[in-house]
Amino acid sequence: EVHEFCTLKYNTQFDQFKKSDVNGEHALPLFVFLKNEQGFKDFGNSVKGLAMRAMCKLKDANYKNDPDIKWNFTKFVIDRNGNVVKRFEPTDDMHSLETCIQSLL
């Protein structure tokens, strides 16, 4: 469905990856590993973070204790040795992500 949307709306003609499960019983083993290494911490106190917190709380009152990926664009930083260094939520400041990556170079 993603491929069809991109092809029809933007006339894309390149190969695309398929959509993958990151949570649940069909989650890819990579994401199971990443979530176990760096569980969910928080969305922060920005306006977007507060909105995300409220949305997640409506779906699951215990969302804070569940390592599942809550929303698109959660990112994991992995060092050269395969250690999962940090998890960044979509509400995190991208400068923090950049700083984290630069510290590992």
Report pLDDT digits (tens) over 61-86. 999 999 999 998 999 999 999 999 99
Residue 79 is classified by DSSP as -
CATH number at residue 40: 3.40.30.10
CA neighbor of 37 nearest in space, from 73, 92, 80, 85: 85
Range of the domain at 32: 2-104
pLDDT given for residue 4 in this prediction: 86
Report pLDDT digits (tens) over 38-53. 999 999 999 999 999 9
Count of structural domains within the chain: 1
